[in-house]
A and B are shown apart, each in its own frame.
Chain A
Amino acid sequence: KNEVEQSPQNLTAQEGEFITINCSYSVGISALHWLQQHPGGGIVSLFMLSSGKKKHGRLIATINIQEKHSSLHITASHPRDSAVYICAVRLGTDKLIFGTGTRLQVFP
């Protein structure tokens, strides 16, 4: 079993829909990262969380440490949100373990 599991693996949506991507992990962590990988391959960091909730524009990330679960929400989705979203957990201060990603396609 992978230490970091993401669901769903693939997601399609119509423009304007509310989107949720989930990440569950089985190890003790010091922080959780959400990353976005564009179709061209570049990776951008969206959030780093150790507790609670963070919001940036139309993106919201939450984490529940007790349940070992995090969610990434996208409100009013747009075709430019189409990308692969990757969850990663930090063990201590050094190692990162990644989920395999959720491929999101938003159609006009």
Chain B
Amino acid sequence: EAQVTQNPRYLITVTGKKLTVTCSQNMNHEYMSWYRQDPGLGLRQIYYSMNVEVTDKGDVPEGYKVSRKEKRNFPLILESPSPNQTSLYFCASSVRLASNNYNEQFFGPGTRLTVL
């Protein structure tokens, strides 16, 4: 089954304790992206990757790191989490079209993170 998986789905942690949220897709998609969703602010892009070893900042990259060593995986790393990073996080992927544009996005199920 074609899907994007995220782990963990729920996480409660404390300020400053490094964590990684994993994202994996089995559709051989070139494009992957991380978003956070907050009440009243909607979805905002954190980082995206157009292919292996190619990553770039979205609108809200501060406090986050990513890597794209393999096509299927795009982990989100919080080196020193803070309470303002409490949010619902989504990973998504999409395939590149021949026109060099990208197709619809497939979203993971979300990770609800609470930083105390």
Residues of A within 8 A of B (CB): 30-31, 33, 35, 41-45, 47-48, 50, 86, 88, 90, 93-101
A98 to B101, Cβ gap below 8 A?
Answer: no
Please choose the segment from B20-28, B44-52, B78-86 that sits at the chain A interface, where 4 or more of its residues have CB less than 8 A away: B44-52
Q: What B residues does A41 contact at CB under 8 A?
A: 88, 109-110
* Residues A48 and B90 in contact in the complex (CB < 8 Å), given A94-B48, A96-B45, A99-B42: no
Residue of B nearest to A47 (CB): B104
Q: What B residues does A86 contact at CB under 8 A?
A: 42-43
Q: What B residues does A50 contact at CB under 8 A?
A: 101
Cα–Cα distance between A31 and B104 once the two chains are bound (Å): 10
A22 to chain B, nearest CB (A): 16
Q: What A residues does B2 contact at CB under 8 A?
A: none
B40 to A100, Cβ gap below 8 A?
Answer: yes
Cα–Cα distance between A81 and B59 once the two chains are bound (Å): 30
Interface of B is mostly: strand
Q: What A residues does B103 contact at CB under 8 A?
A: 48
- Return the 7 tightest CB-CB contacts between A and B, nearest first: A45-B104, A100-B42, A43-B107, A98-B43, A48-B104, A98-B42, A41-B110
> Interface extent on B, as a size class?
20 to 34
Interface of A is mostly: strand
B100 to A101, Cβ gap below 8 A?
Answer: no
A94 to chain B, nearest CB (A): 6
Residue of A nearest to B49 (CB): A94
Cα–Cα distance between A41 and B9 once the two chains are bound (Å): 12
Cα–Cα distance between A99 and B45 once the two chains are bound (Å): 12
Q: What A residues does B33 contact at CB under 8 A?
A: 96
A98 to B44, Cβ gap below 8 A?
Answer: yes
B43 to A88, Cβ gap below 8 A?
Answer: yes
Q: Which residues 69-116 of B have a CB within 8 angstroms of A?
A: 88, 90, 92, 100-107, 109-110
